[in-house]
A and B are shown apart, each in its own frame.
Chain A
């Protein structure tokens, strides 16, 4: 387990709350030294839902348990002047700051981009806010749901008789974090090249969510490429959608002629529905939508004979693009991850060993080593004294004053 060294030598200060927490995690996965800067009472990132009950009885944030792996923790009270001095020293010795502070919050502390640029002209300052640092709604508050709502993608998700729904799991914030990592690395590239200086990276959760929903964007709907109504699985080419199995459902995408033909023959051979291979159903994917209800019944006659994993395996053997509709528990049991060393194990204080899927980047055959979640302030002394060279006595005094 050698890990990935692409970002060796890059130091990142991370004062992220929920929207950008995964950015620091991804940078750490690639070899950067990511220092979580927390108030002495603990970062708000330690409180981000979902909250879970650890075996120790402690309530912890599953979000933090995931996104803080591999970071180091330094506590600094930014509301105290000596704490801000320490922070400036940290900035002076770092390449990147990632923050999800609200517009104006860092400026109010005297730690805005202009002030920090003065202490380190090579600093890349990456900001993640709900709507970005400019524009009429820059001061609006946000959330994962607000990110989805402002993306334009929600009206097409859900059931027609109820409100639109957003995907769960914090996926608009994950998109924002990925954009923050892209922006950070582009800015580092510019800094180490001709540009020669750091710069401000301004990520808006609204725009980041649009960057992962471009398929249902105005570019497409203005052409009539999709409608914006919530009409379930029959709005696109068919068949495409979820189909019930004995234990749940599978996701089938079989509108391409080569997939449809194989699926139709399978339905015919196994369930005896001879009509399904008739000419009226073998036309274009769009034409099949007219018969969707009938076809869905026939297809479900087949899928409901199987478990989702059985149907997945057999459909793939036949070359049809199918997958099971898995829950996180199903993923924990997934055969593919089990047999490909697909899990990383690490620890979190008070929780014990955790496992997460191995990070997705494989570089020269190696993947990231996921390291432990830091205890609050675990690395304060190492970073401030050993690495920054602040006098031991000074750090001791700051500690006694409750600043670090």
Chain B
């Protein structure tokens, strides 16, 4: 019995913010249905796996994008156009049996598709309705359009990344989208609690700009008290020293070290090879260490360079100093800590026998998050959902498929295998990959010969 058993969620999501919020709810047990359009598909349905040969058309490609396995595992997919009478009618029947509607479509699209709070509340009075506007529903930036990168810059995150003698740098991931997704999950959980007690639904907006700002609260407080905004410091921390990223043995290998307080400094000075730090007057106090941080870094680097990143971090941790190798993607996939906690999962997928899925960071001792299947194929569950929840018969569904209103997973006989699975199987020995049930090369040749040119 999962915590959100019996809760149904309709997601009209694009990219990260709404899909990742709904993914959390699915992992906690909700029945999450993505309502997917082929005319305006989710950006994570565009393109396809890079290794797929050109012979595969979009009906297969859209199921192969690996990012879907962090945005949409445990969900069901309904391919449905809701901008026409019959599609709308089916959608309305679904809303009537739904607890939560979550979407990050623009304000304009909310109106055009009639999926705003008042629209869905008319169909289900105690509905919980969640949107994730970038700047909110009022003010001069109300209509402004942004990506996560833009919001990150506007909120002041970028300003704190980089080196003091150079311009700030951009990051390759949309931090504001992910934290907003988590805030939306929180809002839904809290609103469901209130609904159980009072019977009332909720109209929720998560303002993504405000969420990004909320994460930078300490910097905003510091800026107003001191009159100077904090700025990028490389890897140094305010009011702590030493902290940094130090070169270790090997190509592009680094170890991160933080000395949190005087007790941890004393611990660092006990590490074999670093004992001389204890008697160096330049490092006798926190203020002195901050003043002579460059000299301190040079001594630490001399020590870390003669060790691998894992050796250095392990040795420091034995003495109680906070440290870690600067892990890259390969390290993460092969990490024994994450493996011991079953972070990555190999779960059944409609196109792949199993596929690599990103685990839920919320760990619960008694009701662990669901880990049953990877992201759904586009329209994989259309028939079951329309039959069981919207009351449509097979003949009607067939007609709607022909009319392009309903989309079902096409060519569901096509089975694929990611080319790096062989390697992953070795690295992730604990995962239940199983043996390949088909010869991928032969299957691919077969598929290509079947392919009708568009």
Interface residues of A (CB under 8 A from B): 5-8, 22, 26, 30, 49-54, 60, 62-63, 65-67, 130-132, 134-137, 139-146, 148-159, 162-171, 174-175, 178-179, 181-183, 185-190, 192-195, 197, 199-204, 206-208, 210-226, 228, 232-233, 235-236, 240-242, 244, 249-251, 253, 316, 319, 321-332, 335-337, 339-340, 342, 351, 354-365
Contact = CB atoms under 8 A, between A and B. Distances in A.
Contact of B190 (A149, A164, A185, A219): A185
B276 interface: no
Most buried by B among A146, A149, A185, A351: A149
A46 B271 CA distance: 29
Contacts of B24: 182
A360 B207 contact: yes
Contacts of B159: 325-328
Contacts of A190: 2-3, 364, 366-367
Interface in B344-367: 344, 356, 358-367
Given A167-B160, A223-B49, A51 B239 contact: yes
Contact of B203 (A233, A253, A325, A363): A363
Contacts of B49: 223
B28 A186 contact: yes
Contacts of B338: 135, 206-207
Contact of B256 (A145, A158, A159, A232): A145
Contacts of B162: 158-159, 165
Given A49-B240, A132-B341, A330 B156 contact: yes
B245 A179 contact: no
A241 B194 CA distance: 43
A323 B340 contact: no
Given A249-B168, A329-B229, A171 B182 contact: no
A6 B191 contact: yes
Contacts of B152: 251
A185 B190 CA distance: 7
Interface string B322-335: 11111111111100
B245 A164 contact: yes
Contacts of B240: 49
Nearest to A155: B328
A32 B327 CA distance: 38
Nearest to A31: B190
Interface stretch (B65-73, B84-92, B392-400): B65-73
A251 B150 contact: yes
B183 interface: yes
B58 interface: no
Contact of B230 (A143, A168, A215): A168
21 contacts: A50-B239, A66-B221, A143-B260, A154-B327, A163-B246, A168-B233, A171-B216, A186-B189, A195-B1, A200-B364, A204-B361, A218-B329, A219-B356, A223-B66, A249-B168, A322-B150, A331-B155, A356-B221, A360-B208, A360-B210, A365-B203
Q: Which 9 A-B pairs have the closest CB atoms?
A: A251-B153, A168-B160, A143-B258, A152-B332, A340-B139, A149-B256, A49-B239, A323-B150, A328-B223
A332 B3 contact: no
A329 B230 CA distance: 9
Contact of A30 (B16, B190, B333): B190
Interface stretch (B169-177, B409-417, B437-445): B169-177
A49 B147 CA distance: 30
Interface in B181-227: 182-183, 185-187, 189-194, 196, 202-211, 213-226
Nearest to B233: A168
A148 B218 CA distance: 18
A220 to B, nearest CB: 6
Interface string B366-392: 110000000000000000000000000
B80 interface: no
A251 B331 CA distance: 31
B366 A201 contact: no
Contacts, number: 497
A201 B369 CA distance: 11
A158 B147 CA distance: 20
Contacts of A188: 189, 193
B67 A215 contact: yes
B154 A324 contact: yes
A205 to B, nearest CB: 9
A49 B366 contact: no
A326 B223 CA distance: 12
Nearest to A142: B322
Contacts of B51: 223-224
A60 B189 CA distance: 34
A324 B215 CA distance: 18
A242 B178 contact: no
A195 B207 CA distance: 33
B146 A321 contact: yes
A54 B328 CA distance: 41
A232 B221 contact: no
A340 to B, nearest CB: 4
A149 B243 CA distance: 12
Given A174-B215, A215-B67, A336-B139, A183 B362 contact: yes
B169 A165 contact: yes
Contacts of A241: 170
A316 B322 contact: no
Contacts of A328: 156, 159, 216, 219-220, 222-223, 229-230
B168 A134 contact: no
A233 B170 contact: yes
Most buried by A among B141, B152, B202: B141
A332 to B, nearest CB: 6
B265 interface: no
Contacts of A364: 202-203
Contacts of B264: 141
Contacts of B328: 152, 155, 228
Interface string B1-41: 11111000000000010001000100010000000000000
B145 interface: yes
Contacts of A195: 1, 3, 366-367
B252 interface: yes
A394 to B, nearest CB: 34
A192 B193 contact: yes
A361 B329 contact: no
Contacts of A159: 162-163, 166, 169
A150 B327 contact: yes
A63 B218 contact: yes
A249 B150 CA distance: 12
Given A62-B221, A253-B149, A49 B358 contact: no
A242 B158 contact: yes
A187 B3 contact: yes
A56 B35 CA distance: 56
Nearest to B133: A362
B150 A360 contact: no
